[in-house]
Amino acid sequence: MTTNTQNSKPTQVPIPNQGPGDTEEINFKDIFRTLLHHKGLILQLTLACLLAAGLYAFLWPKTYEASCTVQVPESSESTQNALRQMAFLPSMGDAVETYVQVAQSKTVAENTLQALHLTDQPEFKGLSEEKLITQLLKGNVIVSNAKNSNILTIQTHTHDPQLAADLANSWAQNFIKVNLDLSRESALARYQFIDNQLKGMKEKLEEDRGRKQNYLDPSNEAESDQLIYKMLLQQDQEAQIAAKARDPGIVVLDKARLAEGHLKPRKGQSLILGLLLGLFIGIQAAFLLEKIQDSVKTEEDLKTASGLAALALIPNFRQKDGKLLFSATERFSPKHLIDNPEFKFSPYRESFNVFRTNLTFSQVDKKLQAISVFSPNPEEGKTLVNSDLALSLSHTGKKVLLIDADLRKSSISTLFGISVKPQTGLPMLLAGKGKAADMVVKSEFENLWLLPNNIIPPNPSELLGSEAMKNLIQELKKQY
């Protein structure tokens, strides 16, 4: 609601320049006001997150962890390690990392699944073997390697503590078995390759003997063939031994044991996180709503939006000391005016005294005679505020005229409980059909006169902005 003077310019009180310290204080006040204004929303979201965290902490199935550690060979030249002999070439990669990849393979997962009959476990009921293997590798089993060591840790997570321990131990045993199988397969392939080479070299040597060549003569090619034959014979024996080996060189250091307590959910941690998350979401939502809402709800909002100082805050006249004085459907009654004994010493009546005083001193260099209070929307109290302000100004002994300029819904006569003569009102004066002295009515209040209206013109905006309206105001200012 805005107060206008005779020149139709908003009454503006200069606001002192603010320094850096003042800006910080205002920002802090804005933050505090936003939080206080949306405290209900923040509380609701916080409680919702806290409730969700509580349901998770107390109702979510408990997860147990078990871990098993194994030691793998370090040497990249070990004949026992199949993974570094597959192409009969020295390995160029990290040997321990290779073991980690094997431990995370589907072959180990499938062997473990079959060994423990995991598809019959309640936790994995209804899952196909393929889906179960995927779930084991993505969430239930984690294989890691301590930095700069040849120790692997196999961690398992299930809802059953015994199953978690069994899963870790079985996974380690199947990891060892898979490595042993790979070693044997590689050693066997290597043995077959060397054996074929050995047979070929033996045939060549026999052909050389048939030609009566001296294979002991270093100058002859036969000597080189003989040396190669001896080396292949030695490697053939080593390959036979490797193919029959039963030890891949992997040792279980610590077997998994039954967990003493569950890993998650952690009640205290979950509740604290829920509380913090709720506060964070609530505060973010509060500032988001504050940003997208363009309505004015407080005096600070009004100052920020308009850049003007508030002259007064008018409370709800329908309530006093928490009691309802008037029904919300009751409008434009003489009982609503500030001279009603019900309003004696009330904040509502006092607010108009403040309004009158601040309005008087807001422009000390100018003489205020013509004043209008208006707002952008209907039924926001313009008529009542104009009437009570006029009544408050009359209390100072000044001669006050209240003009009913609401040409769409005139109600001054109803509010003051007076009768109106036919063809009376502001439109008639603006049209030059009558004199103000014949239409102005003395109210029951001292120093207050009224110009009621019972004419609804088709063009109220044009009339109020006309030159005739300006001339009429100037003429009335000579008398009031």
Q: Which residues face 70 on adjacent strands? A: 152, 252
Residue 264, classed as helix, strand or coil, is strand
Is 79 within 8 Å of 187 (Cβ atoms)? yes
Count how many Cα atoms sit within 13 Å of the Cα of residue 455 in the half-sphere of its side chain. Answer: 20
Q: What percent of the chain has pLDDT over 90?
A: 24
Q: Which residues face 252 on adjacent strands? A: 70
**Rounded CA separation 73/39 (Å):** 62
Q: Which residue has the tokens 């899952």?
A: 127
The single-letter DSSP state of residue 115 is H
Identify the weakest region by mean pLDDT among 150-154, 167-171, 330-334, 414-418.
330-334
Nearest alpha carbon to residue 119 among 106, 103, 135: 135
Q: Is 50 exceeded by the pLDDT of residue 219?
A: no
Instruction: Find the helix packing angle between 161-210 and 106-116, rounded to 10°.
Output: 120
Identify the weakest region by mean pLDDT among 24-28, 237-241, 316-320.
24-28
Q: Is 80 exceeded by the pLDDT of residue 206?
A: no
Count how many Cα atoms sit within 13 Å of the Cα of residue 445 in the half-sphere of its side chain. Answer: 26
Q: What is the pLDDT of residues 427-478, one digit of tens each?
A: 888 888 888 888 898 989 999 999 998 888 888 888 888 898 998 999 898 8
Residue 333, classed as helix, strand or coil, is coil
Phi (first) and psi of residue 143, to 5 degrees:
-110, 125
For residue 265, is the peptide bond before it cis, meaning its omega torsion is within 30 degrees of 0? Answer: yes
Query: What tokens does 250 get?
Result: 């992997």
pTM of the model: 0.49
Question: Biggest alpha carbon distance in the chain?
Answer: 156
For residue 422, is the peptide bond before it cis, meaning its omega torsion is within 30 degrees of 0? Answer: no
**Rounded CA separation 466/408 (Å):** 17
Q: Is 70 exceeded by the pLDDT of residue 315?
A: yes
**Rounded CA separation 170/76 (Å):** 26
H/E stretch holding 278: helix 267-292
* Cα dihedral: 1, 447, 416, 423 (round 10): -100
Nearest alpha carbon to residue 65 among 154, 175, 170, 173: 154
Q: Which residues face 448 on adjacent strands? A: 400
Identify the weakest region by mean pLDDT among 137-141, 220-224, 289-293, 412-416.
220-224
**Rounded CA separation 358/350 (Å):** 12
Q: What is the pLDDT of residues 289-313, one digit of tens each?
A: 888 877 777 777 777 777 787 888 8
Which pLDDT belongs to residue 322? Answer: 61
Q: Which residue has the tokens 């962890």?
A: 65
283-286, long-range: CB < 8 A, 24+ apart? 283/35, 283/42, 285/38, 285/41, 285/42, 285/45, 286/34, 286/35, 286/37, 286/38, 286/41, 286/42
- CA angle at 201 for the pair 197 and 203, rounded to the nearest 5°: 120
Q: In the predicted model, what is the mean pLDDT of residues 132-149?
A: 88
Phi (first) and psi of residue 178, to 5 degrees:
-65, -40
C-alpha distances in Å from residue 61, one per residue of 51, 55, 466: 17, 11, 78
Q: What secondary structure does DSSP assign to 25-40, as a single string? A: HHHHHHHHHHHHHTHH
Q: What is the pLDDT of residues 357-397, one digit of tens each?
A: 888 887 777 778 888 888 878 778 888 888 888 898 999 88
Arithmetic mean of pLDDT over the chain: 80
Is 68 within 8 Å of 171 (Cβ atoms)? yes
β-strands 251-254, 319-320: how paired? Answer: unpaired
Burial class (CB in 10 A: 0-12, 13-18, 19+), 146: exposed
Q: In the predicted model, what is the mean pLDDT of residues 352-360?
A: 87
**Rounded CA separation 277/271 (Å):** 10
Q: Is 80 exceeded by the pLDDT of residue 94?
A: no
Q: Which residues face 145 on adjacent strands? A: 152
Is 228 within 8 Å of 201 (Cβ atoms)? yes
Phi (first) and psi of residue 153, to 5 degrees:
-115, 125
Query: What tokens does 396 get?
Result: 């100072």
Which pLDDT belongs to residue 18? Answer: 41
Q: In the predicted model, what is the mean pLDDT of residues 268-279?
A: 94
Query: What tokens does 236 get?
Result: 């053939």
Q: Which residue has the tokens 């040792």?
A: 251
